[in-house]
Chains A and B, each alone.
Chain A
Amino acid sequence: MWQKFGVMFAGLLIFLAVIGLILFLADHAPKRGRDYVQMFVFVAPALILLGVGLIYPAIRTMMQSFTNAQGDFIGLENFVWIFTDSGSLISLRNTVVWVILVPLLSTVFGLAYAVFIDKSRGEKVLKSLVFMPMAISFVGAGIIWSFMYAYRSKGFEQTGLLNQLLVWSGLEPIQFLNSAPLNTFFLIVVLVWIQTGFAMVVLSASIKAIPVEQVEAAVLDGANGWQVFTNVTLPSIRGSLVVVVTTITIATLKVFDIVKTMTSGNNDTSVVALDMYNQAFRFNEWGHGAALAVVIFVLVLPIVIYNVRVLRKQREIR
């Protein structure tokens, strides 16, 4: 144990010493070109790491997606596999369902909650409670919900709260995570549970930034709560809504921990990101894995481009 902390402190010390030494040397570089050296020293470590760890690998992955497990060029075969193999087709279908439902539900719940608790008593506590799942790992959340969904056949004592509720109300217990296609929806609940807090916090801040005068004017004109919400609140927070939906969508596209923890992708619950991990790191089908990674990239790309555009437009207006 102490050995491990020793490794950690050694790592930290070496890192700080190296950075310190480089900065010191750059400070005492010969006068001619010192500015250039210093600039280089400040930016270079980050840029080199990004080049080695992100840019080069991304290009490699793109190239690998056109090769088989032995590294021979096979053209589009891996992509053909993705769109013909029944397993990866199910992952694709599930990913689409995830990407539609998670951002939609999280944003709706988060927005409703933010509006409901706005300026109410105990707002801070109420906020923390819903925000808390954001701090929990996807694995932790997966375990928490595995216990919520736990199943014992009829007649046995239930350990999962949801099945106990079913039994109490005179119904039969359900194998929540086993029966496709509903099991995917029960997994989606977990990510919605996590992301609602994020949506709520961002939208709540944005609601608080709406000038009181605007709401007041609407109320004086005789608008009721719902009219104020649709005519004043919603238009004012449109920018934040776009950001929230985009961020959650991208997070959803890459999610794999929840599925891995709760069902391991069995019973038709796999998603593209989990498929990618399995193909590349469990079955050593590097080509398949790389191609699936490229698919995720292609799916993320338009969302980000759209987001950057909206952002730029807003800047222009300001």
Chain B
Amino acid sequence: MSTQINPDASPSLDTSAILTGKARGRHNASAGGQADRVKRRLTSRWATVAAIMIAFLWTIPTFGLFVASFRPQENKRQGWWTIFLDWFPTMENYGKVLGGTSISNDNLASYFINSFVITIPGTIFPLLLALMAAYAFAWIPFRGRGILFVLVFALQIVPLQMALIPLLQFFNGVDIGGTYLAVWIAHTIFGLPLAIFLLHNFVSEIPGELVEAARVDGASQTQIFFRIIIPLSLPAIASIAIFQFLWVWNDLLVALVFSGGSADVAPLTAKLANMAGNFGRNEHLLPAGAFISIIVPLIVFFALQRYFVRGLLAGSTKG
């Protein structure tokens, strides 16, 4: 009886698929049998075979590294696939890489911690500052607001490389070169333009009545910011936080330039790039080391994939 009018089935809703990354198409498909017929015509068996081939090819390299990381040292002259013929995986490499004495070249634990110490503030700092700026650009009217916002947007054009040399000279000038602080500030600066732009898109879509009502009730800007803006834009904050987290965790260039490359500050990526450079002595440890550096982003990725995709789509379809 109520099936006659279904406002949710209107085609305009399909645009929300872009934002949410959800397959609205499937919803429509089950609505009528016609769509299923369309589907059957389009998906040939060859397409499925090709898809599975691509998926296989794309997964095999990572899988190989994963298997190789369990290979005993004495078998390092064998390919990772031989581990299936005589099965004796070992955790020895992980033990050495993480727990080894810090004098030798194999200790990654210190760099692993550095990565966390760099990444967590490197995510929180720019996010909070960007959120504040996004709120001001969206909801506090002031002169020159439009021009400033376009300027911030345009800064995404400036390649990181252009800022490195003077910024390093500046950090050395105020004597914080090669410290966590320098790396944090650098990541904060480089993360800001995109974060402000993306957050602005979300923040400006908050219903104006809410903000107005709060203002009429006598709420200050700060109160509005903490009580309305932050809670309502949590999904956007989550997706951009994941983005920034992965970007900072995976970064090599900023880390190399601003950390000084020492075991005190430099992250895993810097150490691994170095290890990969002088292949040989540590060859059997490299897979375990690389997999440790990969595991954190992979956990974040698989656990929060939905938000990651959302942030990506917001970024790519809106600019």
Interface residues of A (CB under 8 A from B): 1, 4-5, 7-8, 11-12, 15-16, 19, 23-24, 26-27, 35-36, 38-39, 42-43, 45-47, 49-50, 52-58, 60-62, 64, 109, 112-113, 115-120, 123, 126, 128-140, 142-148, 156-161, 164, 193, 196-198, 201-202, 205-206, 208-213, 215-216, 219, 224-225, 228, 239-240, 243-244, 247, 253-254, 256-257, 260-262, 264, 273, 276-277, 280-281, 286, 289-290, 292-294, 296-297, 300-301, 304, 307-308, 311
Binds A, one of B89-97, B128-136, B206-214: B128-136
- Bound-state Cα–Cα, A111 to B34, Å: 25
Tell me if A's interface is mostly helix, strand, loop or mixed: helix
Scan B273-296; emit 1 where CB is below 8 A from any A CB, else 0. Answer: 100110100000011001001100
Interface membership of chain B positions 80-95, coded 1 if the CB is closer than 8 angstroms to chain A and 0 otherwise: 1100000000000000
Q: A11 and B79 in contact (CB under 8 A), knowing A60-B166, A119-B39, A253-B159?
A: no
B42 touches A228 (CB 8 A): yes
User: Smallest distance from the beta carbon of A264 to chain B beta carbons, Å?
Assistant: 6
**B276→A139 contact, CB < 8 A:** yes
Instruction: Apart from A1-B110, A130-B58, A197-B58, list 15 A-B contacts with CB within 8 A.
Output: A4-B114, A7-B117, A8-B120, A42-B135, A50-B152, A132-B58, A137-B293, A140-B293, A143-B286, A147-B61, A159-B78, A201-B313, A202-B313, A212-B28, A297-B157
Say how far B214's CB is from chain A's closest CB, in angstroms.
14
**Is A128's CB under 8 angstroms from B305's CB?**
yes
Q: Tell me if A53 and B272 are in contact (CB < 8 A).
A: no
Closest partner residue, chain A, to B155 (CB atom): A54
Residues of B within 8 A of A276 (CB): 161
User: Of residues A24, A38, A158, A292, which shows the largest number of chain B Cβ atoms within 10 Å of its Cβ?
Assistant: A38
B220 / chain A contacts, CB cutoff of 8 Å: 27, 38
What chain A residues lie within 8 Å of B110 (beta carbons)?
1
Most buried by B among A120, A145, A228: A120
A305 → B minimal CB distance (Å): 9
Interface 1/0s, chain B 153-164, versus A by CB < 8 A? 001111111111
| Set of chain B residues within 8 Å of A244, measured between Cβ atoms | 316
Q: Which residues of A contact B294 (CB under 8 A)?
A: 136-137, 140
Can you show 19 pairs from A to B with CB atoms below 8 A apart?
A: A1-B110, A43-B136, A45-B132, A46-B133, A50-B152, A52-B189, A53-B163, A116-B50, A119-B43, A131-B309, A135-B308, A139-B252, A139-B269, A146-B279, A202-B313, A205-B313, A212-B34, A289-B165, A297-B158
Contact between chains at A38 and B167 (CB < 8 Å): no
- Give 5 closest A-B pairs by Cβ, nearest first: A53-B189, A137-B250, A135-B301, A42-B136, A57-B166
Chain A residues positioned under 8 Å from B256 (CB to CB):
277, 281
Whole-angstrom distance between the Cβ of A308 and the nearest chain B Cβ: 8
Query: Which one of B50, B114, B298 contacts A132 once the chains associate, using CB atoms below 8 Å?
Result: B298
State the CA gap A116–B133 with chains docked (Å): 42
Q: How far is B197's CA from A311's CA once the two chains are assembled, in angstroms? A: 15
Question: In the complex the two chains form, is B48's CB within 8 Å of A120's CB?
Answer: yes
Query: Are B14 and A209 within 8 A (Cβ)?
Result: yes
Chain B residue contacts of A210, Cβ below 8 A: 14, 25
- Judging by beta carbons under 8 Å apart, are B11 and A211 in contact? yes
Q: Is B51 an interface residue (CB 8 A)?
A: yes
B158 contacts A146, CB within 8 Å? no
Residues on the A chain within 8 Å of B238, using CB: none
Determine how close the nearest CB of chain B comes to the CB of A290; give it in whole angstroms.
6
A264 touching B277, Cβ below 8 Å = yes
Q: Do A133 and B58 touch (CB < 8 A)?
A: yes
B contact residues, total (Cβ < 8 Å)? 127
Rounded to whole angstroms, the CA-CA distance of A36 and B251 in the bound complex is 38
In the assembled complex, how far is the CB of residue B251 from the closest CB belonging to chain A, in whole angstroms? 8
Instruction: Give the chain A neighbours of B116 by CB distance below 8 A.
Output: 5, 8
With A135-B298, A208-B24, A297-B162: A50-B81 Cβ-Cβ less than 8 Å: no
How far apart sit A210 and B35, CA to CA, in the bound complex (Å)? Answer: 13
A15 to chain B, nearest CB (A): 6
Determine if B273 and A205 form an interchain contact, defined as CB atoms under 8 angstroms apart: no
The contact string, 1 if C-beta is below 8 Å from chain A, for chain B 104-131, is 0000011001101100110011001110
Q: Which of B1-45 contact A (CB under 8 A)?
A: 11, 14-15, 17-18, 21, 23-26, 28-29, 34-35, 37-39, 41-44
Q: Closest chain A residue to B136 by CB distance?
A: A42
Least CB distance, B292 to chain A, in whole angstroms: 10
Contact B312 A209 (CB under 8 A): no
Q: Which residues of the other chain, A, contact B155 by a CB distance below 8 angstroms? A: 50, 54-55
Contacting pair A147 B113 (CB below 8 A):
no
Q: Are B188 and A49 within 8 A (Cβ)?
A: yes
Smallest beta-carbon distance B13→chain A, Å: 10
Q: How far is the CB of A225 from chain B (nearest CB, A)?
A: 5
| Contacting pair A58 B313 (CB below 8 A) | no
> How far, in whole Å, are A89 and B162 apart by their CA atoms in the complex?
20
Question: Is there an interface contact between A58 and B189, defined as CB atoms closer than 8 Å?
Answer: no
CB within 8 Å for A128 and B163 given contacts A7-B117, A209-B14:
no
A216 interface neighbour in B38, B252, B298, Cβ under 8 Å: B38
* Cα-based distance from A260 to B269 in the complex (angstroms): 12
Say whether A161 contacts B79, CB under 8 Å.
yes
**Do residues A46 and B132 form an inter-chain contact, with CB atoms below 8 A?**
yes
